[in-house]
A = this chain, B = another copy of it.
Protein backbone atom coordinates (compact mmCIF):
# COMPACT_ATOMS: atom_id res chain seq x y z
CA UNK A 1 0.00 0.00 0.00
CA UNK A 2 1.00 3.56 -0.70
CA UNK A 3 2.58 5.31 2.29
CA UNK A 4 1.78 8.88 3.23
CA UNK A 5 4.83 11.05 2.64
CA UNK A 6 5.47 13.29 5.64
CA UNK A 7 7.57 16.42 5.82
CA UNK A 8 8.65 17.63 9.25
CA UNK A 9 9.01 21.36 9.86
CA UNK A 10 11.06 22.13 12.96
CA UNK A 11 13.80 19.76 14.02
CA UNK A 12 14.31 20.73 17.62
CA UNK A 13 13.73 18.31 20.46
CA UNK A 14 10.24 17.31 19.42
CA UNK A 15 10.77 17.10 15.65
CA UNK A 16 13.85 14.94 16.21
CA UNK A 17 11.80 12.69 18.44
CA UNK A 18 9.24 12.10 15.67
CA UNK A 19 12.00 11.55 13.16
CA UNK A 20 14.15 9.13 15.12
CA UNK A 21 11.83 7.46 17.62
CA UNK A 22 8.70 7.14 15.52
CA UNK A 23 9.41 7.15 11.77
CA UNK A 24 12.94 5.72 11.88
CA UNK A 25 11.84 3.00 14.30
CA UNK A 26 9.01 1.93 12.02
CA UNK A 27 6.23 3.00 14.37
CA UNK A 28 4.34 4.90 11.65
CA UNK A 29 2.99 2.00 9.65
CA UNK A 30 1.60 3.85 6.66
CA UNK A 31 3.84 6.89 6.72
CA UNK A 32 7.41 7.78 5.83
CA UNK A 33 9.59 10.86 6.01
CA UNK A 34 9.87 12.51 2.64
CA UNK A 35 11.40 15.86 3.58
CA UNK A 36 12.95 17.70 6.49
CA UNK A 37 12.93 21.42 7.19
CA UNK A 38 14.50 23.73 9.75
CA UNK A 39 15.70 27.30 9.30
CA UNK A 40 18.74 26.45 11.41
CA UNK A 41 21.31 24.69 9.15
CA UNK A 42 23.00 22.94 12.06
CA UNK A 43 19.77 21.36 13.25
CA UNK A 44 18.85 20.39 9.72
CA UNK A 45 22.23 18.76 9.16
CA UNK A 46 21.96 16.93 12.44
CA UNK A 47 18.50 15.62 11.56
CA UNK A 48 19.70 14.55 8.11
CA UNK A 49 22.49 12.42 9.52
CA UNK A 50 20.05 10.58 11.78
CA UNK A 51 18.37 8.87 8.83
CA UNK A 52 19.80 5.98 6.85
CA UNK A 53 18.23 7.02 3.54
CA UNK A 54 18.83 10.31 1.75
CA UNK A 55 16.00 12.80 2.42
CA UNK A 56 15.58 16.22 0.79
CA UNK A 57 16.22 19.04 3.25
CA UNK A 58 14.88 22.59 3.24
CA UNK A 59 15.79 25.75 5.10
CA UNK A 60 12.60 27.43 3.89
CA UNK A 61 9.39 25.62 4.75
CA UNK A 62 7.45 27.11 1.82
CA UNK A 63 9.97 25.57 -0.57
CA UNK A 64 9.31 22.24 1.06
CA UNK A 65 5.54 22.71 0.70
CA UNK A 66 5.95 23.64 -2.95
CA UNK A 67 8.33 20.77 -3.69
CA UNK A 68 5.52 18.27 -4.21
CA UNK A 69 7.34 15.88 -1.89
CA UNK A 70 4.83 15.97 0.97
CA UNK A 71 1.33 14.53 1.25
CA UNK A 72 1.33 15.76 4.80
CA UNK A 73 3.37 17.97 7.09
CA UNK A 74 4.06 17.85 10.81
CA UNK A 75 4.58 21.31 12.27
CA UNK A 76 6.74 21.25 15.35
CA UNK A 77 8.37 24.66 15.35
CA UNK A 78 8.32 27.23 18.15
CA UNK A 79 4.68 27.97 19.03
CA UNK A 80 4.28 31.44 17.54
CA UNK A 81 4.59 30.28 13.95
CA UNK A 82 2.35 27.20 14.21
CA UNK A 83 -0.70 28.93 12.69
CA UNK A 84 1.33 30.61 9.95
CA UNK A 85 2.79 27.32 8.72
CA UNK A 86 -0.50 25.46 9.09
CA UNK A 87 -2.20 28.18 7.05
CA UNK A 88 0.36 27.81 4.28
CA UNK A 89 -0.22 24.06 4.24
CA UNK A 90 -4.01 24.42 4.22
CA UNK A 91 -3.91 26.99 1.44
CA UNK A 92 -2.02 24.45 -0.64
CA UNK A 93 -4.41 21.65 0.40
CA UNK A 94 -1.52 19.87 2.04
CA UNK A 95 -2.61 17.80 5.02
CA UNK A 96 -1.12 19.01 8.27
CA UNK A 97 -0.63 17.93 11.86
CA UNK A 98 0.14 20.79 14.22
CA UNK A 99 2.00 20.11 17.43
CA UNK A 100 0.50 21.61 20.56
CA UNK A 101 -0.34 24.39 21.20
CA UNK A 102 -2.39 25.44 18.17
CA UNK A 103 -0.82 28.85 18.57
CA UNK A 104 0.05 31.43 21.17
CA UNK A 105 -3.01 33.66 20.92
CA UNK A 106 -6.56 32.95 19.79
CA UNK A 107 -6.70 35.69 17.18
CA UNK A 108 -4.05 33.89 15.15
CA UNK A 109 -5.60 30.47 15.77
CA UNK A 110 -9.03 31.74 14.72
CA UNK A 111 -7.54 32.94 11.44
CA UNK A 112 -6.05 29.47 10.92
CA UNK A 113 -9.38 27.82 11.68
CA UNK A 114 -11.13 30.05 9.13
CA UNK A 115 -8.72 28.91 6.42
CA UNK A 116 -9.25 25.29 7.51
CA UNK A 117 -12.95 25.58 6.71
CA UNK A 118 -12.29 26.20 3.03
CA UNK A 119 -9.35 23.83 2.65
CA UNK A 120 -9.63 20.33 1.25
CA UNK A 121 -6.77 19.16 3.44
CA UNK A 122 -7.00 17.24 6.68
CA UNK A 123 -5.89 19.25 9.71
CA UNK A 124 -5.14 17.61 13.06
CA UNK A 125 -3.73 18.77 16.37
CA UNK A 126 -1.08 16.52 17.88
CA UNK A 127 -3.05 16.05 21.09
CA UNK A 128 -1.32 12.78 21.92
CA UNK A 129 -2.81 12.73 25.41
CA UNK A 130 -6.28 12.32 23.93
CA UNK A 131 -5.21 8.80 22.93
CA UNK A 132 -4.82 7.82 26.60
CA UNK A 133 -7.44 5.17 27.40
CA UNK A 134 -8.07 6.69 30.83
CA UNK A 135 -8.97 10.11 29.46
CA UNK A 136 -11.01 8.65 26.60
CA UNK A 137 -12.94 6.59 29.12
CA UNK A 138 -13.56 9.58 31.38
CA UNK A 139 -14.93 11.55 28.46
CA UNK A 140 -17.19 8.65 27.53
CA UNK A 141 -18.54 8.16 31.07
CA UNK A 142 -19.26 11.87 31.47
CA UNK A 143 -20.92 12.15 28.07
CA UNK A 144 -23.10 9.18 29.01
CA UNK A 145 -24.28 11.01 32.15
CA UNK A 146 -22.29 8.67 34.40
CA UNK A 147 -21.59 11.34 37.00
CA UNK A 148 -24.72 13.42 36.37
CA UNK A 149 -24.43 17.19 36.20
CA UNK A 150 -20.90 18.57 36.59
CA UNK A 151 -20.21 20.01 40.06
CA UNK A 152 -16.44 20.36 40.29
CA UNK A 153 -13.24 19.54 38.48
CA UNK A 154 -9.82 19.54 40.11
CA UNK A 155 -6.58 18.83 38.31
CA UNK A 156 -3.29 19.01 40.14
CA UNK A 157 -0.69 18.54 37.44
CA UNK A 158 2.55 19.58 39.04
CA UNK A 159 4.90 16.86 37.85
CA UNK A 160 6.62 19.08 35.30
CA UNK A 161 9.74 19.74 37.33
CA UNK A 162 12.37 21.40 35.15
CA UNK A 163 15.87 22.64 35.95
CA UNK A 164 17.56 25.85 34.84
CA UNK A 165 19.47 23.72 32.34
CA UNK A 166 16.21 22.85 30.62
CA UNK A 167 15.31 26.52 30.29
CA UNK A 168 18.76 27.25 28.91
CA UNK A 169 18.30 24.72 26.09
CA UNK A 170 16.77 27.15 23.59
CA UNK A 171 16.73 30.93 23.39
CA UNK A 172 12.99 30.86 22.62
CA UNK A 173 12.23 28.89 25.78
CA UNK A 174 10.34 30.54 28.59
CA UNK A 175 10.27 34.01 27.03
CA UNK A 176 7.26 36.06 26.00
CA UNK A 177 8.86 36.72 22.67
CA UNK A 178 10.03 33.22 21.94
CA UNK A 179 7.33 31.04 23.44
CA UNK A 180 4.53 33.35 24.52
CA UNK A 181 4.19 31.81 27.96
CA UNK A 182 5.61 29.29 30.38
CA UNK A 183 4.27 26.15 32.01
CA UNK A 184 0.80 26.77 30.58
CA UNK A 185 1.85 26.86 26.96
CA UNK A 186 4.75 24.45 27.07
CA UNK A 187 4.13 21.75 29.68
CA UNK A 188 0.40 21.83 30.38
CA UNK A 189 -1.36 22.48 27.08
CA UNK A 190 -2.41 18.83 26.95
CA UNK A 191 -4.14 18.99 30.28
CA UNK A 192 -5.63 22.36 29.38
CA UNK A 193 -7.03 20.74 26.24
CA UNK A 194 -8.14 17.61 28.06
CA UNK A 195 -9.94 19.43 30.84
CA UNK A 196 -12.36 20.92 28.30
CA UNK A 197 -12.39 17.86 26.04
CA UNK A 198 -13.19 15.38 28.80
CA UNK A 199 -15.90 17.57 30.35
CA UNK A 200 -17.20 18.59 26.94
CA UNK A 201 -17.47 22.23 27.93
CA UNK A 202 -15.44 25.39 28.39
CA UNK A 203 -15.70 27.46 31.58
CA UNK A 204 -17.61 30.71 31.31
CA UNK A 205 -15.28 32.62 33.66
CA UNK A 206 -11.59 32.11 34.43
CA UNK A 207 -9.18 33.44 37.01
CA UNK A 208 -5.46 32.84 37.02
CA UNK A 209 -2.94 33.29 39.81
CA UNK A 210 0.48 32.97 38.24
CA UNK A 211 4.02 33.06 39.55
CA UNK A 212 6.39 34.56 36.97
CA UNK A 213 9.95 33.25 37.23
CA UNK A 214 9.02 32.11 40.70
CA UNK A 215 11.22 29.00 40.78
CA UNK A 216 13.52 29.66 37.82
CA UNK A 217 15.41 32.52 36.23
CA UNK A 218 12.76 33.04 33.53
CA UNK A 219 10.34 35.82 32.69
CA UNK A 220 7.19 33.74 32.10
CA UNK A 221 5.02 31.80 34.53
CA UNK A 222 6.40 28.63 36.12
CA UNK A 223 3.45 28.22 38.49
CA UNK A 224 -0.29 28.59 37.98
CA UNK A 225 -3.40 28.15 40.06
CA UNK A 226 -6.51 28.75 37.97
CA UNK A 227 -10.11 28.93 39.11
CA UNK A 228 -12.92 28.14 36.66
CA UNK A 229 -16.66 28.75 36.78
CA UNK A 230 -18.96 26.90 34.40
CA UNK A 231 -22.33 27.87 32.95
CA UNK A 232 -24.25 25.57 35.31
CA UNK A 233 -22.40 26.94 38.36
CA UNK A 234 -19.84 24.15 38.58
CA UNK A 235 -16.32 25.21 39.57
CA UNK A 236 -12.83 24.02 38.81
CA UNK A 237 -9.26 24.36 39.99
CA UNK A 238 -6.24 23.71 37.80
CA UNK A 239 -2.77 23.77 39.34
CA UNK A 240 0.47 23.37 37.47
CA UNK A 241 4.13 24.18 38.00
CA UNK A 242 7.64 23.27 36.87
CA UNK A 243 9.03 24.11 40.30
CA UNK A 244 7.95 21.21 42.50
CA UNK A 245 9.51 17.80 42.99
CA UNK A 246 8.06 15.30 43.07
CA UNK A 247 4.90 16.60 41.50
CA UNK A 248 1.39 15.22 41.43
CA UNK A 249 -0.92 14.26 38.59
CA UNK A 250 -4.42 13.86 39.97
CA UNK A 251 -7.66 14.60 38.14
CA UNK A 252 -10.95 14.46 39.99
CA UNK A 253 -14.30 15.30 38.42
CA UNK A 254 -17.39 15.39 40.62
CA UNK A 255 -20.99 15.46 39.56
CA UNK A 256 -24.41 15.03 41.06
CA UNK A 257 -24.28 11.28 40.42
CA UNK A 258 -20.75 10.60 41.66
CA UNK A 259 -17.17 11.26 40.76
CA UNK A 260 -14.30 10.09 38.62
CA UNK A 261 -10.78 9.99 39.99
CA UNK A 262 -7.82 9.51 37.68
CA UNK A 263 -4.51 9.08 39.46
CA UNK A 264 -1.50 6.84 39.04
CA UNK A 265 -2.75 5.18 35.84
CA UNK A 266 -5.93 4.13 37.60
CA UNK A 267 -9.44 5.37 36.97
CA UNK A 268 -11.99 5.02 39.77
CA UNK A 269 -15.68 5.68 39.35
CA UNK A 270 -17.69 6.45 42.47
CA UNK A 271 -21.11 5.75 41.04
CA UNK A 272 -24.22 6.82 42.92
CA UNK A 273 -27.51 5.06 42.38
CA UNK A 274 -29.36 8.38 42.58
CA UNK A 275 -28.71 12.05 41.96
CA UNK A 276 -27.27 13.43 45.22
CA UNK A 277 -29.03 16.78 44.95
CA UNK A 278 -32.40 15.11 44.46
CA UNK A 279 -31.54 12.74 47.32
CA UNK A 280 -30.76 15.74 49.53
CA UNK A 281 -34.28 17.07 48.99
CA UNK A 282 -36.08 13.87 49.85
CA UNK A 283 -33.88 11.96 52.29
CA UNK A 284 -35.20 11.80 55.85
CA UNK A 285 -31.71 11.46 57.29
CA UNK A 286 -29.30 14.36 57.69
CA UNK A 287 -26.02 12.74 56.72
CA UNK A 288 -26.44 9.74 54.46
CA UNK A 289 -25.44 9.70 50.81
CA UNK A 290 -27.18 7.70 48.08
CA UNK A 291 -26.14 4.06 47.68
CA UNK A 292 -22.79 3.94 45.91
CA UNK A 293 -20.74 1.52 43.90
CA UNK A 294 -16.96 1.98 43.62
CA UNK A 295 -15.72 0.75 40.26
CA UNK A 296 -12.15 0.35 39.10
CA UNK A 297 -12.85 1.22 35.51
CA UNK A 298 -11.64 -1.12 32.81
CA UNK A 299 -10.49 0.54 29.60
CA UNK A 300 -9.34 -0.75 26.23
CA UNK A 301 -5.78 -0.29 27.53
CA UNK A 302 -4.67 1.61 24.46
CA UNK A 303 -2.45 4.61 24.86
CA UNK A 304 -0.65 5.19 21.61
CA UNK A 305 0.33 8.78 22.17
CA UNK A 306 2.21 10.62 19.39
CA UNK A 307 2.44 7.50 17.22
CA UNK A 308 -1.29 7.00 17.66
CA UNK A 309 -2.13 10.46 16.40
CA UNK A 310 0.25 10.29 13.44
CA UNK A 311 -0.86 6.75 12.53
CA UNK A 312 -4.51 7.77 12.72
CA UNK A 313 -3.76 10.75 10.52
CA UNK A 314 -2.03 8.66 7.87
CA UNK A 315 -4.65 5.93 8.05
CA UNK A 316 -7.56 8.33 7.82
CA UNK A 317 -5.96 9.90 4.72
CA UNK A 318 -5.83 6.41 3.27
CA UNK A 319 -9.47 5.83 4.18
CA UNK A 320 -8.60 3.11 6.69
CA UNK A 321 -9.77 4.79 9.90
CA UNK A 322 -11.97 7.56 11.13
CA UNK A 323 -10.21 10.84 11.74
CA UNK A 324 -9.64 11.38 15.51
CA UNK A 325 -8.61 14.97 16.33
CA UNK A 326 -10.05 17.87 14.35
CA UNK A 327 -7.31 20.50 14.32
CA UNK A 328 -9.72 23.39 14.75
CA UNK A 329 -10.42 22.18 18.29
CA UNK A 330 -6.99 23.45 19.29
CA UNK A 331 -8.44 26.90 19.81
CA UNK A 332 -10.20 25.87 23.02
CA UNK A 333 -7.00 25.17 24.90
CA UNK A 334 -5.41 28.35 23.58
CA UNK A 335 -8.39 30.38 24.72
CA UNK A 336 -8.26 28.81 28.17
CA UNK A 337 -4.53 29.51 28.45
CA UNK A 338 -4.99 33.07 27.20
CA UNK A 339 -7.74 33.68 29.74
CA UNK A 340 -5.57 32.38 32.59
CA UNK A 341 -2.60 34.50 31.48
CA UNK A 342 -4.75 37.61 31.05
CA UNK A 343 -6.22 37.15 34.51
CA UNK A 344 -2.75 36.56 35.93
CA UNK A 345 -1.52 39.81 34.38
CA UNK A 346 -4.53 41.57 35.90
CA UNK A 347 -3.94 40.29 39.42
CA UNK A 348 -6.49 37.48 39.31
CA UNK A 349 -9.36 39.47 37.82
CA UNK A 350 -12.28 37.36 36.57
CA UNK A 351 -12.07 36.99 32.78
CA UNK A 352 -15.25 36.07 30.92
CA UNK A 353 -15.06 33.81 27.89
CA UNK A 354 -14.85 34.40 25.01
CA UNK A 355 -11.90 36.63 25.84
CA UNK A 356 -11.26 39.96 24.23
CA UNK A 357 -8.74 38.76 21.64
CA UNK A 358 -7.47 42.20 20.79
CA UNK A 359 -6.87 43.03 24.42
CA UNK A 360 -4.99 39.78 24.87
CA UNK A 361 -2.76 40.41 21.90
CA UNK A 362 -2.08 43.97 23.06
CA UNK A 363 -1.12 42.80 26.54
CA UNK A 364 1.00 39.99 25.13
CA UNK A 365 2.81 42.36 22.80
CA UNK A 366 3.66 44.69 25.68
CA UNK A 367 5.51 41.73 27.20
CA UNK A 368 7.02 40.64 23.90
CA UNK A 369 8.43 44.13 23.38
CA UNK A 370 10.29 44.08 26.67
CA UNK A 371 11.11 40.37 26.52
CA UNK A 372 14.66 39.40 27.35
CA UNK A 373 16.69 37.01 25.30
CA UNK A 374 19.10 34.59 26.82
CA UNK A 375 22.48 33.86 25.28
CA UNK A 376 22.84 30.15 24.83
CA UNK A 377 23.54 27.45 22.31
CA UNK A 378 20.46 27.16 20.11
CA UNK A 379 21.84 24.30 18.04
CA UNK A 380 21.75 21.69 20.71
CA UNK A 381 18.95 19.13 20.68
CA UNK A 382 18.06 17.71 24.06
CA UNK A 383 16.43 14.38 24.68
CA UNK A 384 12.80 14.99 25.70
CA UNK A 385 12.00 11.33 26.08
CA UNK A 386 12.90 11.36 29.77
CA UNK A 387 9.54 12.90 30.38
CA UNK A 388 7.69 10.11 28.57
CA UNK A 389 8.25 7.41 31.16
CA UNK A 390 4.96 7.47 32.99
CA UNK A 391 1.77 7.02 30.98
CA UNK A 392 -0.03 9.86 32.67
CA UNK A 393 2.97 12.10 32.26
CA UNK A 394 3.59 11.80 28.55
CA UNK A 395 3.92 15.22 27.05
CA UNK A 396 5.72 18.07 25.33
Interface residues of A (CB under 8 A from B): 151-152, 154, 156, 158, 161-166, 169, 207, 209, 211, 214-216, 223, 225, 227, 229, 233, 235, 237, 239, 241, 243-246, 248, 252, 254, 258-259, 261, 270, 272, 276-277, 279-281, 283-290, 292, 347-348, 350, 382, 386-387
> Which of B211, B229, B248 has a CB less than 8 Å from the CB of A233?
B211
Is B162 in contact with A287, judged by CB distance below 8 angstroms?
A: yes
CB contact under 8 A between A279 and B235, given known A207-B348, A246-B292, A259-B244: no
Is A277 in contact with B215, judged by CB distance below 8 angstroms?
A: yes
Interface of A is mostly: mixed
**Which chain B positions have C-beta within 8 A of A279?**
163, 245
Is A154 in contact with B156, judged by CB distance below 8 angstroms?
A: yes
A214–B162 Cα gap in the complex (Å)?
A: 40
Is B243 in contact with A277, judged by CB distance below 8 angstroms?
A: yes
Q: How many copies does the complex hold?
A: 2
20 contacts between A and B (CB under 8 A): A151-B243, A154-B239, A156-B252, A162-B280, A162-B287, A163-B279, A165-B283, A169-B286, A207-B348, A214-B233, A225-B227, A243-B276, A244-B254, A244-B259, A245-B258, A246-B292, A248-B252, A285-B386, A286-B386, A287-B387
Is B245 in contact with A163, judged by CB distance below 8 angstroms?
A: no
Is B246 in contact with A289, judged by CB distance below 8 angstroms?
A: yes
**Which chain B positions have C-beta within 8 A of A382?**
286
CB contact under 8 A between A286 and B151, given known A216-B280, A252-B156: no
> Which of B248, B288, B350 has a CB less than 8 Å from the CB of A347?
B350
Is B288 in contact with A386, judged by CB distance below 8 angstroms?
A: yes
Is A163 in contact with B239, judged by CB distance below 8 angstroms?
A: no
* A181 CB → nearest B CB, Å: 18
> Which of B163, B164, B211, B285 has a CB less than 8 Å from the CB of A163?
B285
